[in-house]
């Protein structure tokens, strides 16, 4: 499957038209997705109608992009992987990122599976279907944007959008072997993204190469009057960072991210990637992010508190699946929510309601906000010494389907290296950096995480591309 850049050159030379590219994608989906289960739906006619009108001179002219099923695209379903929304809801409007993608000439094509309301790390919490890792179909693709990662790995998409509240772009990108970038909070509009935790959520690109991530980021970033947290600053030219050298760049290695709990093979692969950065002229510097040990607890208080508030809107009156047998309004809310939400979503609503309730607010929510401040300060201080931070994305490679689904705590711990990025509001990216042996000759991808200063996505693209060019993992991937 081509990259965005390949596709653009084939369009320009006249070797391929957008309609042909979309039809060939649909063929790949029809032959491969029965096994992978990454798409929830796609509308070929709508995409072909858009392809017929598209202006090929635009930066993403005619490029089909798969969309996580939490991002509204006018006229299409938006289930969020939930039984609550898989009926009686069609998006009445385009999300901010979709309007921007269309303005850049891209064609939203296909809705990708996800953990219900983006709560999870394996896509197993989808109430609608199982998604398998294309590298080893007995394993999870990562989550919550597991569908968006799997479609790239399975050659069922050129690029995709995901959303990341605590790692949901970077972790599936790492486990399925693609590039995933979580922009700085405020860089990309959240308008039309079904909210999970509003102070943490960001939409970002999932692509085959770093160069492609720069192209998609350029298209989706920037101010949107519908999201007051989206900043107004002028955007840099992200592609200009691709190809810059990294000589003398200081790369921080947080000692807490290379400690106990990290799989030995993953460590070996990530260490080798860091050596590679060194051989490109970067200077590794050991740093400390001392509040890392509190990140999981802090995240699961703040994210659940915000989720309990955000998910209150699903009352089955305005939209979604409605319980049939209720006698009165209150009963209708109760029954619809009890039937519509899955177990993990209920667990989070209960936790979130608890930590916000009177008497517990000060002990949990307020305390977590204070620790969040300390976590942010750790990064501010680290970035006084280094330009970027490098680490693993996930402590293990892709695990088996069912391995952790009955153990929420084990699942939460899988996010230990990604959650702090969102709590601090900074940017992060996962770049493929090699493989572990896996089983039965099915090797498993590993991701290198790069973290940058607020609004310094350009630095991530610069380092990520220099690394990618030197190693060429994307050719293997
Ligand atoms: N895995 C984390 C969670 O379950 C992060 C999810 C996300 O980033 N959407 O909350």
Instruction: Tell me how far apart the alpha carbons of residues 29 and 157 are, in angstroms, rounded to a whole number.
Output: 8
Dist. CA 121–CA 403, nearest whole Å: 12
Judge if the beta carbon of residue 352 lies within 6 A of ligand 1. no
Do both 199 and 140 map to the same domain?
yes
Does one domain contain both 11 and 73? yes
Which residues, in sequence order, are bridge partners of residue 391?
A: 449
pLDDT of 111-126, one tens digit each?
A: 999 999 999 999 999 9
Ligand 1 atom nearest the C-alpha of 143 is 1
In a domain, 270, yes or no: no
68, 69, 82, 118, best to mutate for ligand 1 pocket (most atoms within 8 Å of CB): 118
Alpha-carbon 142 to chain mean position: 10
Flag whether 263 is in a domain.
no
Residue 318 confidence class, pLDDT cut points 50, 70, 90 = confident
Q: Are 179 and 245 members of one domain?
A: yes
Using alpha carbons, select from 465, 403, 394 the residue that is nearest to residue 436.
394
Q: Which of 321, 343, 369 is the last residue of a domain?
A: 369
Nearest residue (by CA) to ligand 1, atom 4, is: 120
| Buried/exposed 195-233: b ≥16 CB within 10 Å, e otherwise | bbbbbbbbbbbbbbbbbbbbbbbbbbbbbbeebeebbee
- Together in a domain, 468 and 405: yes
**420 CB near ligand 1 (under 6 Å):** no
81 lines ligand 1 (CB under 6 A): no
Looking at the structure, tell me whether residues 224 and 306 fall in a common domain: no
Ligand 1 atom with minimal separation from the 169 CA: 8
| 4 close to 117: Cβ distance less than 8 angstroms | no
d(CA 321, CA 83): 7
Q: How far does residue 365's CA lie from ligand 1's centre (Å)? A: 18
**Residues identified as active-site:** 68, 144, 168
Q: What number does the ligand 1 atom closest to the CA of 299 have?
A: 10
- Whether residues 91 and 168 fall in one domain: yes
Model-level pTM? 0.97
CB 328 within 8 A of CB 346: no
- Mean pLDDT along residues 52-63: 97
| pLDDT band of 206, cuts 50, 70, 90 | very high
d(CA 125, CA 99): 29
| Cα 24 from Cα 14, distance rounded (Å) | 16
Residue 11 in 3-state DSSP?
helix
Nearest CA residue ID for atom 5, ligand 1: 166
What would the mean pLDDT of 321-326 be, rounded to a whole number?
A: 90
Asked if residue 476 has pLDDT above 80, the reply is no
Phi, psi of 70 (to 5 degrees): -110, 0
**In the sheet where 179-182 sits, what is the strand order?**
39-41, 107-112, 64-68, 159-164, 202-207, 179-182, 427-439, 442-452, 388-392, 250-254, 283-287
CA dihedral sign of residues 421, 422, 425, 429? positive
State which of 369, 398, 428 marks the end of a domain: 369
Residue 29 — pLDDT band, cuts 50, 70, 90? very high
Residue % of the chain over a pLDDT of 70? 99
Please compute the mean of the pLDDT values over residues 416-421 and round it to a whole number: 97
Ligand 1 pocket residue status of 214, Cβ below 6 Å = no
- Decide: 415 in ligand 1 pocket, CB within 6 A: yes
| Same-domain check for residues 135 and 221 | yes
Rounded to an integer, the average pLDDT of 52-56 is: 97
Residue 62 tokens, joined: 């005619």
124 in ligand 1 pocket by Cβ < 6 Å?
no
Give the pLDDT band (50/70/90) at residue 234: very high
Check pocket membership of 120 for ligand 1, CB cut-off 6 A: yes
Report CA(255)–ligand 1 centroid distance (Å).
23
Residue 67: CATH number of its domain: 3.90.1300.10
Q: Within this chain, do residues 389 and 350 fall inside the same structural domain, yes or no? A: no
What is the C-alpha separation between 189 and 198, in angstroms, rounded?
Answer: 11
User: Residue 405's pLDDT is what?
Assistant: 87
Is 128 in contact with 81 (CB distance < 8 Å)?
yes
Same domain for 57 and 134, yes or no, is yes
DSSP 429: E
Distances (CA, A) of 177 to 30, 101, 172, 428: 22, 24, 8, 16
Distance 328 CA to ligand 1 centre (A): 35
Could you tell me if residue 376 is inside a domain? no
CA of 249 to the centre of ligand 1 (A): 31
Q: How far is the CA of 283 from the centre of ligand 1 (A)?
A: 32
**Ligand 1 within 6 A of 474 CB?**
no
Whether residue 207 sits in one domain with residue 351: no
- Please state the atom number of ligand 1 nearest to the C-alpha of residue 196: 9
Ligand 1 pocket member 145 (CB < 6 A): no
**What 3-state class would DSSP assign to 139?**
strand
Q: Write down the pLDDT at residue 12.
A: 95
Number of structural domains (the chain) is 2
Binning pLDDT at 50, 70 and 90, where does residue 1 land?
Answer: confident
Q: Is residue 105 part of a domain?
A: yes
pLDDT of 10 over the 70 cut: yes
- Domain with 297 in it: 292-369
* DSSP codes, 379-417: HHHHHHH-SEEEEESSSSSPPBTTSSTT-HHHHHHTTTT
Q: Buried b / exposed e across 271-289, counting CB within 10 Å, b at 16+? A: eebbebbeebebeeeebeb
Distances (CA, A) of 77 to 10, 111, 170, 474: 31, 8, 25, 32
200 alpha carbon – ligand 1 mean position (Å): 10
Q: Do 429 and 393 reside in the same domain of the chain?
A: yes
Asked whether residue 283 is assigned to any structural domain, the reply reads no
CA 337 to CA 312: how far, in whole Å? 10
Contact (Cβ atoms closer than 8 angstroms) between residue 302 and residue 367: no
Question: Residue 50: how many CA atoms within 13 Å on its side-chain side?
Answer: 21
Per-residue tokens: 387? 């330009």
Give the pLDDT band of residue 474 (cuts 50, 70, 90): low
Give domain status of residue 274, yes or no. no
Q: Tell me the best of 303, 395, 413, 418 to mutate to test the pocket of ligand 1, counting ligand atoms within 8 Å of each CB and taking the most.
A: 303
Tell me: do 397 and 359 sit in the same domain. Answer: no
Q: Tell me what the pLDDT averaged over the chain comes to.
A: 96
Substitution candidate for ligand 1 out of 112, 162, 167 with most atoms within 8 A of CB: 167
């Amino acid at each position: 499957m081509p990259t965005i850049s390949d596709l653009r050159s084939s369009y320009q030379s006249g070797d391929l038209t957008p309609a042909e590219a979309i039809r060939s994608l649909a063929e790949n989906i029809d032959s491969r997705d029965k096994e992978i289960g990454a798409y929830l739906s796609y509308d070929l006619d709508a995409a072909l109608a858009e392809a017929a009108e598209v202006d090929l001179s635009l930066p993403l002219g005619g490029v089909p992009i798969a969309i996580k099923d939490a991002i509204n695209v006018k006229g299409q379903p938006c289930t969020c992987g939930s039984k609550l929304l898989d009926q009686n809801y069609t998006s009445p409007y385009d999300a901010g990122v979709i309007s921007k993608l269309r303005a850049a000439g891209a064609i939203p094509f296909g809705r990708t599976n996800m953990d219900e309301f983006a709560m999870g790390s394996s896509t197993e919490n989808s109430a609608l279907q199982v998604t398998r890792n294309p590298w080893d179909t007995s394993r999870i693709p990562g989550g919550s944007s597991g569908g968006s990662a799997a479609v790239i790995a399975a050659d069922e998409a050129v690029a995709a959008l995901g959303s990341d509240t605590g790692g949901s772009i970077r972790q599936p990108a790492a486990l399925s072997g693609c590039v995933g970038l979580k922009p700085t909070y405020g860089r990309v509009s959240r308008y039309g993204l079904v909210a999970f935790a509003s102070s943490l959520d960001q939409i970002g690109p999932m692509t085959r190469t770093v160069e492609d991530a720069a192209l998609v980021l350029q298209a989706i970033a920037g101010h949107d009057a519908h999201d007051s947290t989206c900043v107004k600053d002028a955007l840099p030219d992200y592609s200009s960072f691709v190809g810059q050298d990294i000589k003398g760049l200081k790369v921080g290695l947080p000692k807490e991210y290379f400690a106990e709990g990290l799989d030995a093979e993953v460590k070996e692969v990530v260490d080798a990637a860091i050596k590679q950065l060194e051989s490109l002229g970067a200077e590794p510097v050991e740093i400390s992010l001392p509040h890392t040990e509190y990140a999981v607890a802090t995240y699961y208080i703040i994210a659940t508190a915000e989720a309990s508030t955000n998910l209150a809107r699903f009352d089955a009156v305005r939209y979604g699946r409605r319980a049939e047998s209720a006698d009165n309004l209150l009963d209708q809310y109760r029954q619809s929510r009890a039937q519509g939400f899955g177990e993990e979503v209920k667990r989070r609503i209960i936790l979130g309601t608890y930590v916000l309730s009177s008497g517990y607010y000060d002990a949990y929510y307020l305390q977590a906000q204070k620790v969040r401040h300390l976590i942010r300060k750790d990064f501010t201080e680290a970035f006084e010494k280094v330009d970027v931070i490098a680490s693993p994305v996930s402590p293990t490679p892709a695990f088996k389907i069912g391995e952790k689904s009955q153990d929420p705590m084990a699942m939460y711990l899988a996010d230990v290296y990604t959650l702090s990025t969102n709590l601090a509001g900074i940017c992060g990216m996962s770049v493929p950096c090699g493989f572990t042996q896996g089983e039965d000759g099915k090797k498993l991808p590993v991701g290198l995480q790069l973290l940058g200063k607020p609004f310094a996505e350009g630095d991530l693209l610069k380092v990520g591309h220099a690394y990618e060019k030197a190693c060429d993992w994307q050719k293997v991937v």
